[in-house]
Structure 1
Amino acid sequence: MSQPPSTAGAAVLAPRPGPIRAVVFDLDGVVVDSSAVMREAFSIAYAEVVGGGPAPFEEYNRHMGRYFPDIMRLMGLPLEMEGPFVRESYRLAHRVPLFPGVRETLEALHERGIRMAVATGKSGPRARSLLDLLGVLALFDHVIGSDEVPRPKPAPDIVLRALDLLGMPPTAAMMVGDAITDLTSGREAGVTTVATTWHGGDVTALLAAGPDLVAHKPDELLTHCAARDPHQLGEMAGSERG
């Protein structure tokens, strides 16, 4: 059994003052294991629009977390690739699984009264469709796509939008992501940043970006999200009914 990557040398800081009452998740590489499907969709789109030769998926993967049109601009590829990429992503969505332990962690956070949102590089409709297909959409209070904010990650707009919808201050929230763009977006929004390592990407570079916290397994997030007092939860429920 492989050991979790070492955090030696990483700028892992103390968490911001809590308690944490809201969690904003990136989607790909954190909640869903979509890498294989994204590779296939990207390869098909590249062949249709650009032509022969191997699709540069490794370079695409280095920009993960950004909005697809932004990645195309950074790579100097035609924006026309978005159409077939989205089409194939929908067609192959049934092959995208949740990472092990994610469903249980989301359910535990929900039971603890933690508010949750998704802030993703995907478009909002595609993200909501995928989460609905996986049966976890109802666990999130809001799902926000990069097409639904003025500036996508690494700008803080999408995290700030999530906080606004959740009605939470930055000091009570954390951003959970597997890419440097996630950490940058969260840091600029003023929330606690959490780097995840279960995606198997370039963990060394991610940790070198200086997250506030590191999680090697989904359930480690529960350590930083204590359950609310049952009396407080009862008062909240009564208020919502009123």
Structure 2
Amino acid sequence: MTPDTKQTGAAHIAAENDPNRLRHLIRRARVVLWDFDGPICRLFAGHSAERVSGDLVSWLEGRGLHGLLTETERESLDPQVVLRAVDRRHPGSDLVAELEERLTQEELRAASSAMPTPYADPLIRTWTAVGSRLAITTNNAPRVVRTYLAGRGLADCFAPHIYGRTQELHHLKPDPHCLNRALRAMGTAPGEALMIGDAPTDHKAAERAGVPFLGYARNDRKAKLLLESGAETVVGSLETLLRLLRG
């Protein structure tokens, strides 16, 4: 088994202790809301997120804006942290719009080398085949999601329900805005949906939207963060869901 397909200890225990809960989550979901980077693919698997973050910081510093970020923000490995930090200080500004577009272009480049999450493709196709409707609710740019899904032949499983980052960055998860947009567009009550995510921000957004949550953790660190955030059901491999769905 590869590290990505091996179930983590904490996640394995969570799933094994209450298999009926996992089965119930899957069977009651008329609509499945997927986070993108993590459950569907590792977007920056071949295009370093750390380098992208550094490039955004360098671009800001080249404009004489070194003091705009704290030391912690400048050293962040997550480009979304840099983007959010600038938006907090200059919300809705041309600077934020330009920075967001630069991040989108980096995400588009990353999409060409993104690594599919093990079992994600067959799980998506199977869930579609059994009649559930799927949507993407992500902090990544919608253009990036559409590009990746088209390359995997998965676009029809989600279209047109892709809800991602806009220039209103205060609506990024953990705000439930993208989840609420999906639910309204699909005419679905929160309790009839299921959110699959790999980060505490996904869990918090689902909680605020009233949507049941299923955590996906590809390693122990991810599982620990999800469980500490209050997620009750976490799996270490999407194969678990695929087996239940096919069964």
CA deviation map 1:95-137 (0-9, x unaligned) = 1121121111111111111110000001222322232233212
Correspondence for 1:39 among 50, 75, 82 = 50
Q: Greater share of helix residues, 1 or 2?
A: 2
Q: Give the SS at the match of 2:162.
A: strand
- The answer (yes or no) to whether the contact 1:21–1:115 under 8 Å persists in 2 is yes
Shift of 1:197: 0.8
CA deviation map 1:122-161 (0-9, x unaligned) = 1222322232233212111411113187722112221121
- The runs of 5 or more residues in structure 1 that have no matched partner are 228-242
- The answer (yes or no) to whether the contact 1:112–1:226 under 8 Å persists in 2 is no
Alignment root-mean-square deviation, CA: 3.6
1:133 equivalenced with 2:133 (yes/no)? no
TM-score by length of 2: 0.73
User: Which residue of the partner structure matches residue 190 of structure 1?
Assistant: 210
Q: Give the SS at the match of 1:121.
A: coil
Q: Equivalents in 2 of 1:99, 1:135: separation in Å?
A: 15
Distance verdict in 2 for CA 1:116–1:200, change over 3 Å: farther
Shift of 1:71: 5.0
TM-score by length of 1: 0.74
Q: Please give the residue correspondences for 1:1-242 in structure 2 after superposition, counting only pairs within 5 Å.
A: 1=1, 3-7=6-10, 14=21, 19-36=28-45, 37=47, 38-50=49-61, 56-58=75-77, 60=78, 69-73=83-87, 79=96, 81-141=99-159, 142-147=161-166, 151-198=171-218, 201-222=221-242
- The number of residue pairs the alignment matches comes to 221
- The answer (yes or no) to whether the contact 2:179–2:205 under 8 Å persists in 1 is yes
AA at the equivalent of 1:46: V
Identity of aligned residues (%): 23
Shift of 1:166: 2.0
AA at the equivalent of 1:70: R
Q: Equivalents in 2 of 1:196, 1:75: separation in Å?
A: 33
Distance verdict in 2 for CA 1:105–1:113, change over 3 Å: same
Q: Which moved more, 1:38-47 or 1:157-166?
A: 38-47
AA at the equivalent of 2:189: P
AA at the equivalent of 1:22: V
Q: Which moved more, 1:170-179 or 1:194-203?
A: 194-203
Q: Equivalents in 2 of 1:225, 1:167: separation in Å?
A: 23
Q: Give the SS at the match of 1:202.
A: helix
- The answer (yes or no) to whether the contact 2:141–2:164 under 8 Å persists in 1 is yes
Q: Give the SS at the match of 1:198.
A: coil
- The answer (yes or no) to whether the contact 1:22–1:168 under 8 Å persists in 2 is yes
User: Which residue of the partner structure matches residue 235 of structure 1?
Assistant: none
Shift of 1:200: 6.5
- The answer (yes or no) to whether the contact 1:45–1:81 under 8 Å persists in 2 is yes
- The answer (yes or no) to whether the contact 2:10–2:220 under 8 Å persists in 1 is no
Shift of 1:174: 0.8
- The runs of 5 or more residues in structure 2 that have no matched partner are none
- The answer (yes or no) to whether the contact 2:42–2:117 under 8 Å persists in 1 is yes
Q: Give the SS at the match of 2:9.
A: coil
Distance verdict in 2 for CA 1:203–1:192, change over 3 Å: same
User: Which residue of the partner structure matches residue 230 of structure 1?
Assistant: none
Q: Give the SS at the match of 1:147.
A: coil
AA at the equivalent of 1:183: H
- The answer (yes or no) to whether the contact 1:21–1:225 under 8 Å persists in 2 is no
Q: Give the SS at the match of 1:146.
A: coil
Shift of 1:85: 2.6
